[in-house]
Structures are given as C-alpha cells and as structure tokens.
Amino acid sequence: MKNFVFIAVMTLAAAFSANAQQYKVITSVESIVPNGLGRSRIINALEDKDYKEYTSVQTEEDNTRNKADRGDIRVKNFEETKLLNFYNLGGIRFQNIAANDALITSMINDMITNGWELAFVVSGVESEGGKGDGQGIFITRYIFKK
C-alpha cells in the first residue's frame, strides 16, 4: 500500500511538472495610413529571447546596467505574412478587411491545430491624430498557450 501511494504521488508530481504552460505571441500590424501607402503584416518570431539578458536593475545604492547591445535584442528569424491595408485611394476598403480576417483566421486555426490555445487578444491603435494626420497602425497581439 505504501508503494502504491508513493508511486501515485510521484506520477502526479511528474504530471504537474510536465504540464508547465508555454506562451507564444503573434502580432498583426494593419496600416491605417490613407491612400494605401502603409504596410500590413502578421509577424511571428521564430526564435526565443530571454528577457533577463536585457534587463537592468536600478536602485539608489546600485545602478547595475546590462551590457547587452540593443542590436542583440533584435530577432533575425521570423515569419512575415502580408496583409492588405485598410485604405486605398478610394478610402476604407472593406474587402481588404475581410481578406485580412480570412488570413488571421487561417493563422489562428493553424496554431490551434498545432496544439496551441488562443488565450488572450489585445489590440490598440496608434495615430498621430493631428491636423493632416497621415500616419497610424492598428496592432493586435494574439497570445497563445499550450
């Protein structure tokens, strides 16, 4: 009986350690620049980075700086899927939005097929907003977990 309880506890502990969650972020950037001049993409990093390598600790007593070069942070291996811009010369283009939705849906379905679960979606808009505003992006981050 003691052996059975021990084996059951060890199996349960192994199952919990094997179930550590993993997260992945994929970002879509959709241009809201008038006249179709912007660029729109889905971006998927194909390499991992450890944030600790680029983190510094700053206190009153000690100002420890991380010596990592900003260029080291850049990810050189990533997928870039083209999307259509929201605007063209005629104004907002609903057909482009529908096409982007189809591509993003395909990407989400592919991630789910590969064992990922869509956990969160976060989006925002960046726009100058001043007179003659000619710049802006609509960015969405899809956060998956497994």
Q: Which amino acid is at 33?
A: V
Residue 6 has pLDDT above 60, yes or no: no
Q: Does residue 3 fall inside a structural domain? A: no
Evaluate whether residue 70 is within a structural domain: yes
Cβ–Cβ under 8 Å, residues 42 and 83: yes
Contacts of 92 (CB under 8 A, 6+ apart): 86
Q: Note whether residue 77 is domain-resident.
A: yes
Helix (H) or strand (E) holding 12: helix 2-18
Report the alpha-carbon distance of residue 125 to residue 137 in Å, rounded: 6
- Whether residue 133 has pLDDT greater than 80: no
Q: How many CB atoms lie within 10 A of CB 75?
A: 12
CA 70/CA 29 separation, integer angstroms:
22
What tens digit of pLDDT does each residue of 123-132 get? 998 876 667 6
For residue 89, being part of any structural domain is answered with: yes
When divided into structural domains, the chain yields a total of 1
Is residue 78 pLDDT above 80, yes or no? yes
User: Residues 44-63: pLDDT tens digits?
Assistant: 999 999 999 888 888 877 65
| Tokens representing residue 142 in the block | 């899809």
Q: What is the pLDDT of residue 88?
A: 78
Amino acid at 97: I
Give the pTM: 0.76
- Model pLDDT, residue 67: 62
Question: Which letter does DSSP use for residue 98 in this model?
Answer: H
Q: Establish if 12 belongs to a structural domain.
A: no
Domain membership of residue 8 (yes or no) is no
Residue 16 lies in a domain: no
Range of the domain at 32: 21-145
